[in-house]
């Protein structure tokens, strides 16, 4: 899987159906940021039957709370946060049309099942490489929940954001496969 796939948001079913764990992706287009507090507020709106502040159909949410931008830059360091904190919210957002999520770390069985059911993908971004990842961000604008500061929902325009497919529409898990692959004991001769 040495080939790098270039993808453009918004994502369609066909886009995510073609992805497999371990595949390297360069993502371009619009990506939204949201973490725990923003997800909680979005779920409150859903439960109240109110519209979300962003149209999530076909979109990708990046779990990041970026650092303040330096002069001349649209965003500061933008490394991924641990994804499991969003697991309780993710299946519902996938049901409503979300196509992708970006973060770090494992996802729950419920999220992986929802990726299969609603045709979504979970991408991993390299933790500790926030300054490098921020270079892919061309524009950043707060679009909801400004009072949350770094955890506000931002609309990012990204070019070739480097990612890897961690969970795909087949229910495969790169973390599980990696453990299996590298835990095989050498055969005694």
Report pLDDT digits (tens) over 54-97.
999 999 999 999 999 989 999 999 999 999 999 999 999 999 99
CB burial readout 50-69, b (16+ within 10 A) else e: eeebbebebbbbbbbbbeee
Query: If DSSP codes are grouped into helix, strand and coil, which group holds residue 48?
Result: coil
User: Pairing relation of β-strands 24-33 and 153-167?
Assistant: antiparallel
Residue 73 within any structural domain of the chain: yes
Residue 172 within any structural domain of the chain: no
Cα distance between residue 65 and residue 109, in whole Å: 25
- The whole-number pLDDT of residue 145 equals 97
Residue 187 within any structural domain of the chain: no
* Torsion 65-69-75-80 (CA) sign: negative
Q: What is the pLDDT of residues 12-47, one digit of tens each?
A: 999 999 999 999 999 999 999 999 999 999 999 999
- The whole-number pLDDT of residue 128 equals 79
Contacts of 46 (CB under 8 A, 6+ apart): 52, 92, 96
Q: What is the pLDDT of residues 96-152, one digit of tens each?
A: 999 999 999 999 999 999 999 999 999 999 877 888 899 999 999 999 999 999 999
Q: What are the percentages of helix, strand and coil residues in the chain, rounded to 5?
A: 30, 30, 40
Tokens describing residue 18: 């073609």
CA 165 to chain centre: 10
Percent of all residues in the chain with a pLDDT value above 90, rounded to a whole number: 85
Cα distance between residue 99 and residue 27, in whole Å: 13
How many domains is the chain built from?
1
Residue 182 within any structural domain of the chain: no
pTM of the model: 0.92
Question: Does the structure show a pLDDT above 60 at 185?
Answer: no
- The whole-number pLDDT of residue 187 equals 56
Return the bridge partners of 7, or none: 27
Residue 133 within any structural domain of the chain: yes
Cα distance between residue 115 and residue 1, in whole Å: 21
| DSSP annotation of 50 | P
- The whole-number pLDDT of residue 1 equals 47
What is the CATH classification number for the domain harbouring 135?
A: 3.20.130.10
Residue 184 within any structural domain of the chain: no
Residues serving a catalytic function are 39
Residue 19 within any structural domain of the chain: no
- The whole-number pLDDT of residue 179 equals 66
Domain coverage including residue 139: 4-12+24-161
- The whole-number pLDDT of residue 177 equals 79
Residue 97 within any structural domain of the chain: yes
């Amino acid at each position: 899987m040495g080939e790098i796939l270039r993808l453009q948001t918004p994502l369609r079913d066909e886009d995510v159906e073609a992805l497999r764990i371990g595949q390297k992706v360069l993502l371009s287009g619009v990506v939204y940021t949201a973490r725990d507090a923003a997800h909680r507020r979005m779920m409150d709106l859903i439960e109240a039957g109110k519209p979300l502040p962003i149209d999530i159909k076909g979109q990708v949410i990046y779990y990041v709370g970026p650092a303040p931008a330096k002069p001349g830059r649209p965003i500061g360091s933008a490394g991924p946060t641990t994804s499991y904190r969003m697991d309780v919210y993710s299946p519902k957002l996938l049901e409503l049309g979300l196509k992708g999520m970006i973060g770090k770390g494992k996802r729950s069985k419920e999220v992986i099942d929802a990726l299969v059911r609603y045709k979504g993908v979970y991408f991993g971004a390299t933790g500790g490489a926030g300054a490098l990842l921020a270079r892919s961000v061309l524009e950043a604008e707060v679009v909801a929940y400004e009072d949350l500061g770094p955890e506000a929902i931002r609309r990012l325009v990204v070019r070739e954001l480097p990612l890897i497919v961690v969970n795909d529409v087949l229910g495969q898990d790169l973390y599980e496969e990696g453990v299996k692959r590298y835990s095989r004991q050498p055969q005694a001769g």
